[in-house]
Amino acid sequence: MAAQVQRMSRLMVKTLRDDPADAETLSHKLLVRAGFVRRNAAGIWTWLPLGKKVFENVSRIIREEMDAIGGQEVLLPALLPKEPYEASGRWEEYGDLLFRVKDRKGADYLLGPTHEEIFTQTVKDQCTSYKDLPVILYQIQTKYRDEARPRSGVLRGREFQMKDSYSFDTTDEGLAEAYALHRAAYQKIFERLGLDYRICSAVSGAMGGSASEEFLAPAPAGEDTFADCPACDFAANTEAVTFALKPVEGAGHGPVEDLDTPDTPTIETLAEHLGVPASATLKNLLVKVDGEIVAVGVPGDREVDLGKLAEQLAPAEVELVTAEDFEGRPDLVRGYVGPQGLDKVRYIADPRVAPGTAWITGANKPDTHAKNVVCGRDFEVDDYLDVVVVQDGDPCPACGTGLKLDRAIEIGHIFQLGRKYADAFQLDVLGQNGKPVRVTMGSYGIGVSRAVAALAEQNADDKGLVWSREVAPADVHVVAAGKAAQTELALSVSEQLAEAGVRVLVDDRAGVSPGVKFTDAELFGIPTILVAGRRTAEGVVELKDRRTGEREELPVAEAIARLT
Ligand code: ATP
Ligand code: MG
Ligand code: MG
Ligand code: MG
């Protein structure tokens, strides 16, 4: 299919030689300098023609992969009534992050930061029987969050574009399957985009719910710090480090109890007490009481209460289980409590155990350790505390190698929400036996606008942006470097390429020096630059690979053949 030739002489684009004064990150500088985006206000951006093309290419890849897992695209409003967010508790919970607006009658509305509530209502309205499920719905839509520090260009907008999807199932297995489908689709999406990324276990923050993983793209501009193992595939977001726990009232298992542990037993004491060998694998341990896991810890120098716990629980049967016991136990996340106590809880989630439903047990008072607690049953996550960075060189919980700390951009996030929203909205469908079944949900996000910036962060060089073919605003950037003859050749080559379906941007501007055109071409980052220059009379053009810088002179026909 023939593609359009985009002529620079008619393109609305103004490139800048200097970085914008307020820009701190590479993507911010380059996307503005190349004329891909324009800032309207803090965290509020316009996508200009070239930027919009990249944005649409990223969106297309996401759509294709979402459609491939059976996702159905919808478009929900961004302007939303308050009531559903009151029902879920997030009208309050979101605090200052929420843009709240009033209509002319004084009624409260909000600009949607994410859409769990509205999707839940949609499905409650549209699906009535188990036969209507499972369903995966998605949208690519504008979101609003009044971010405290909307710096970094489109990396962190206050208005930004997200692909959000939501899965609805009647069974936990169904949810696990929808989660796995999304996980695999995200891997394909980020691979096709050409993003370098890691999958990390994560806390689910204001989403509520339990299992969640983040897709992190390593880049110095990232605002997340993550611990990366150079030897195995372990990676964890250090954002998942600290949290305060709140006892669940009337849970039936007694309140969380603090144990003072001045004489904390060592792992050896504990092992002896339990009559198990204090082998090295005990470093990752859980305690099982009558088959139920009640504590988890990686004892360090001052760990932990497990000996006392065992004592208190006697004569219940207490057994130690090791790292292998995590295998196939998606409801477990392991972690450990550092010597500093509550506000210095150090926690590394193990990606092998997500998705899950149980949090680690944790200290809830300095130098203590909660006993006999199961998250969800006995306590819930109450508040997130300051992030405590896992130290460079800390041992990897999976293989023991020294961890390396890196900065990364959160480009995607997947959650198993469970029934939190279904409960809030009484989302039931009629089950096979005629009785109502409560629906279980997942929610899955990709920052589409952020992904564009993340690509810029990972691929740019000192000359400018560098796009892969799938996302680039064009396949070939043809430069007419000279006078009328060069322009004529450039236009003719462009037409021939377009005929063959190649997307071409041709720099046919009159009165602009070749030097300026080359500089702009490097800045735009289109994968191949074709120059009609000094050897035009001989019918020879130059091909340049933007990424590698390799150049080659070729007869026109050969160059065209190469590119089609
Ligand atoms: P962050 O930790 O960066 O604030 P988040 O965890 O609050 O992100 P989620 O609620 O998980 O974000 O939203 C899903 C995805 O939306 C994120 O993984 C990210 O890619 C994108 N996203 C979130 N906030 C922004 C923002 N302010 N600007 C651009 N993209 C964003
Ligand atoms: Mg956020
Ligand atoms: Mg986050
Ligand atoms: Mg997130």
Q: What is the pLDDT of residues 61-100, one digit of tens each?
A: 999 999 999 999 999 999 999 999 999 999 998 989 999 9
Q: Bigger pLDDT: 275 or 375?
A: 275
The three-class DSSP label of residue 408 is: strand
Please report which helix (H) or strand (E) contains residue 28, including its range. helix 26-33
Given a cut of 50, is residue 145 above it in pLDDT? yes
- When pLDDT is averaged across residues 508-527 and rounded to a whole number, the result is 97
Q: Which of 413, 443, 444, 457 to mutate to test the pocket of ligand 1 (most atoms within 8 A of CB)?
A: 413
pLDDT at residue 266 in the model: 44
Nearest CA to ligand 1 atom 26: 156
- What pLDDT is stored for residue 426 in this prediction? 97
What is residue 234's predicted lDDT score, i.e. its pLDDT? Answer: 75
Residue 232, token pair as written in the block: 């195995």
Ligand 1 atom 12 nearest Cα:
413
To test the pocket of ligand 1, the residue of 207, 450, 452, 455 to mutate (highest count of ligand atoms within 8 Å of its CB) is 450
- DSSP H or E segment with residue 69: none
Q: What is the mean pLDDT of residues 416-423?
A: 93
Sign of CA dihedral 66, 69, 70, 76: negative
Looking at the CA of 206, which ligand is closest?
Answer: 1
Token couple for 408: 């990364």
Cα–Cα dist 113/446, whole Å = 13
pLDDT in tens, 441-474: 999 999 999 999 999 999 999 999 999 999 999 9
User: Quick one: pLDDT at residue 397?
Assistant: 61
Residue 407 host element (H or E): strand 404-418
Helix (H) or strand (E) holding 240: none
C-alpha span between 250 and 481 (Å, rounded): 78
Give me ligand 4 centre to Cα 257, in Å. 31
Share of the chain above pLDDT 90, in %: 61
What number of other Cβ atoms are within 10 A of residue 9's Cβ? 12
The residue whose CA has the least distance to atom 21 of ligand 1 is: 447
Nearest ligand for residue 451 CA: 1
Residue 27's Cβ-side half-sphere holds a number of Cα atoms within 13 Å equal to: 24
Least confident window among 21-25, 100-104, 407-411, 436-440: 21-25
Residues 104-119: tens digit of each pLDDT: 999 999 999 999 999 9
Nearest CA to ligand 1 atom 11: 413
Q: Read off the pLDDT of each residue in 204-227 and give the average, rounded to a whole number.
A: 73
Residues 314, 316, 317, 319: is their CA dihedral positive or negative? negative
- Determine the angle formed by the axes of helices 49-68 and 172-193, rounding to 10 degrees: 140
Task: Determine the distance from the C-alpha atom of residue 349 to the mean position of all C-alpha atoms in its chain, rounded to a whole number.
Answer: 16
Nearest residue to 464 (alpha-carbon basis) of 529, 545, 520, 408: 520
Q: How far is the CA of 268 from the centre of ligand 2 (A)?
A: 42
Tokens matching residue 403: 């961890």
User: Measured in angstroms, how far is the CA atom of residue 214 from the centroid of ligand 4?
Assistant: 7
Residues 301 and 264: their CA atoms lie apart, in Å, by: 9
- Of all atoms in ligand 1, which is nearest to the CA of residue 409? 3
CA distances from 151 to 56, 187, 454 (A): 23, 28, 14
Which residues are found with C-beta within 5 Å of the ion, ligand 4? 413
- Give the number of the atom of ligand 1 that is nearest the alpha carbon of residue 223: 3
Q: Which has the minimum average pLDDT: 26-35, 56-65, 274-283, 491-500? A: 274-283
Mean pLDDT of the chain: 78
ipTM of the modeled complex: 0.99
pLDDT at 136 over 70: yes
Cβ atoms within 10 A of the Cβ of 95, count? 10
How close is the Cα of 72 to the center of ligand 1, in Å? 22
Residue with the nearest Cα to atom 23 of ligand 1? Answer: 447
CA of 160, nearest ligand number: 1
CA 384 – ligand 4 centroid, Å: 14
CA of 314 from ligand 4 middle (Å) equals 41
* Ligand 1 atom with minimal separation from the 150 CA: 27
Q: Is the pLDDT of residue 343 over 60?
A: no
For 281-293, write each residue's pLDDT tens digit. 333 344 444 444 4
- Whose atoms come closest to the Cα of 449: which ligand? 1
Give percent above pLDDT 70 in the chain. Answer: 70
Q: How many CB atoms lie within 10 A of CB 21?
A: 5
Residue 66: predicted pLDDT: 98
- Confidence at 227, pLDDT banded by 50, 70, 90: confident
Q: Whose CA is nearest to atom 3 of ligand 1?
A: 410
Among 180-184, 343-347, 499-503, name the one with the lowest average pLDDT.
343-347
Which atom of ligand 1 is the closest one to the Cα of 415? 11
pLDDT confidence of residue 373? 39
AA identity, residue 246: K
The amino acid occupying position 95 is G
Q: How many angstroms does the Cα of residue 446 sit away from the middle of ligand 4?
A: 9
pLDDT range class, residue 402, cuts 50, 70, 90: confident
Sequence-ordered strand ranges (E) for 70-197: 72-73, 79-81, 99-102, 108-111, 135-144, 159-169
| DSSP class per residue in 461-526 | BTTB----TTTSS-SEEEEE-SSHHHHHHHHHHHHHHHHTT--EEEE--TT--HHHHHHHHHHHT-
Nearest residue CA, atom 14 of ligand 1?
A: 445
Lowest mean pLDDT among 7-21, 403-417, 526-540: 403-417
pLDDT of residue 359: 29
* CA contacts within 13 A on the Cβ side of 182: 34
61 C-alpha to ligand 1 centroid (Å): 19
Please tell me the distance from the alpha carbon of residue 295 to that of residue 300, in angstroms, as a whole number: 15
| pLDDT at residue 228 in the model | 84
User: What confidence tier does 326 reach under pLDDT thresholds 50, 70, 90?
Assistant: very low
Q: Which residue, judged by its Cα, is nearest atom 7 of ligand 1?
A: 205
For the CA of 447, the nearest ligand: 1
- Placement of tokens 């322009």 in the chain: 487
What are residue 7's phi and psi, to 5 degrees?
A: -95, 125
Task: Name residues whose C-beta falls within 8 Å of residue 153's C-beta, 6 or more positions apart in sequence.
Answer: 23, 25, 27, 28, 31, 32, 37, 39, 45, 453
- The closest-lying atom of ligand 1 relative to the alpha carbon of residue 114 is 10
- Residues in CB range of 343: below 8 A, 6 or more apart: 242, 366, 385, 386, 388
More confident of the two residues 389 and 43: 43
Distances (CA, A) of 537 to 208, 266, 542, 560: 67, 83, 13, 17
Average pLDDT over residues 30-36: 98
Judge whether 186 and 165 are in contact, CB under 8 Å: no
**Ligand 1, residues at Cβ distance < 6 Å:** 114, 145, 147, 156-157, 160, 162, 205, 410-413, 445-447, 449-450
Count of CB atoms within 10 A of residue 133's CB?
19
CA of 156 to the centre of ligand 4 (A): 12
Q: State residue 202's pLDDT score.
A: 64
DSSP result, 429-443: EE-TTSSEEE-EEEE
Q: What residue type is assigned to position 111 of the chain? A: L
**CA-closest residue to ligand 1 atom 13:** 445
Interval between CA 145 and ligand 2 midpoint (Å): 8
